[in-house]
Amino acid sequence: MLDIKFIRENPEAVKDNLDKKFMEDQHDLVDGLLARDEKYRKLLQEVERLRHDRNQVTQKISAMKKSGGDVTDLLAQAKEIPQKIKDIDVRVAELKSEMLDLQKKIPNMLHESVPLGKDDSENVELKKYGDPVIKDFEVKSHVELCESLGIADFDSSARVAGNGFFYLMGDLALLNQALLRFGMDFMMRKGYTFVEPPLMVRRAVIEGVVDMDFFEEMVYKIEGEDLYLIATSEHPLVGMFIDQTMDEKKLPIKLCGLSQCFRKEIGAHGIDEKGVFRTHQFNKVEQVVICKPDESYKYYDEMLNNSIELFKELGLPTRVFESCSGDLGDLKSKGADLEAWSPRKQEYFEVGSVSNLTDAQSRRLNIKADNGSERYFPHTLNNTALATSRTMVAILENYQNADGSVTIPEVLGPYMNNMDRIRPK
């Protein structure tokens, strides 16, 4: 969410930013906000004038009473002023609410390095890491492989909960836990504090960290309560600082969240009928940083490099795919996806995404930092360290053998009782 002062002083730059996101038809968001802002400030001035008049009248009444004069007219004036102030305060509150709604609809300012493009088809490949695996046999889908190895049960989960769920069995369940432990240990070695967050948050938190109009169809609401199941631990990790002012000396705050995540996955992609690739429930290790504004792009690079290094240690070929202007969420200033290679489809697929939201989330959540001379809104960033579901798909395909077994990445051996491969039972 942009600062109203910034919008007031830079309306054309904000409109140009809308153009870069191919929102040329929404300039009225800026004009409507500024028109309300002007009315808002005039009404505040009017309230101040009325309060000044009230004080003047009160003083005159006191003086007239002492001199024995007639205060009838003055008392009538004094009686009218509070109601006038009350009426204006109601309108001020209405304008403030309308302005906030419009501010939330105006996207964050894009970083100058973001490539222009209408949608994800115009995202830009930045760099590849590792050589894509080309198998000399037909690669099985992860669903077929899991069922042939007896390490997952998708039919039972469909009977119990419907599509988009799974039972992980034996070695695959162990692999899932190994990835979580590996990701957690990796991030702690990088200096991030390990956190297990709440799996539910209040609506105020979700509205602070995402565009709720877009997110409404993704999250699960707890009926009868002001609680939602989290779609990512980013939400409770950033939300833990709502309405707080922190000492600047504590920055940067670097957190590693481990949690289950829940998503309806309604939309163009839909939910997978079988498998663990796109599901309603999955496990994820998340990176979150809260830092001084002039350091946020340093941590953007650090967080992205963390994920690249993590997948290198897993021996999985990846590439960085930068999001173009039209594909970036409105709260983001810059973002990129990390994608892993699929030997079966001969293409890359998303396994995580890094985002710099600058001060958009901190403004919406009223998170401030104090350096002793001023208070300001710090920057927030997030990035997937690894989501185990998609990482398991990448491992099952890239480490698949002709005999139907799956080699365990070397770094995961210690977390899997020193197993070297998953074999048919």
Contacts 24+ apart (CB under 8 A), 10-17: 13/109, 14/106, 14/109, 17/107, 17/109, 17/110
* Residue 208, number of CB atoms within 10 A of its CB: 26
Phi-psi region of 418 (alpha: psi -120 to 50; beta: other; left: phi over 0): left
**pLDDT, tens digit (0-9, with 9 covering 90-100), for 209-249:** 988 777 778 899 999 999 999 999 999 999 999 999 999 99
What is the average per-residue pLDDT within 127-143? 93
**CA distance readout (Å), 334 to 109, 139, 312:** 9, 36, 24
**pLDDT, tens digit (0-9, with 9 covering 90-100), for 324-353:** 999 999 999 999 999 999 999 999 999 999
**60: Cβ contacts below 8 Å, ≥ 6 apart:** 74
Angle at 384 between CA 185 and CA 346, to 5 degrees: 110
**pLDDT, tens digit (0-9, with 9 covering 90-100), for 351-384:** 999 999 999 999 999 999 999 999 999 999 999 9
What is the average per-residue pLDDT within 103-125? 96
**CA distance readout (Å), 87 to 40, 50, 52, 90, 372:** 13, 12, 17, 5, 38
Residue 141 has pLDDT above 80, yes or no: yes
Structural domains for the chain:
4-105 (1.10.287.40), 120-422 (3.30.930.10)
Q: Shortest CA distance to 381 belongs to which of 310, 290, 302?
A: 290
pLDDT band at 51; cut points 50, 70, 90: confident
- Integer Cα distance of 334 and 332 in angstroms: 6
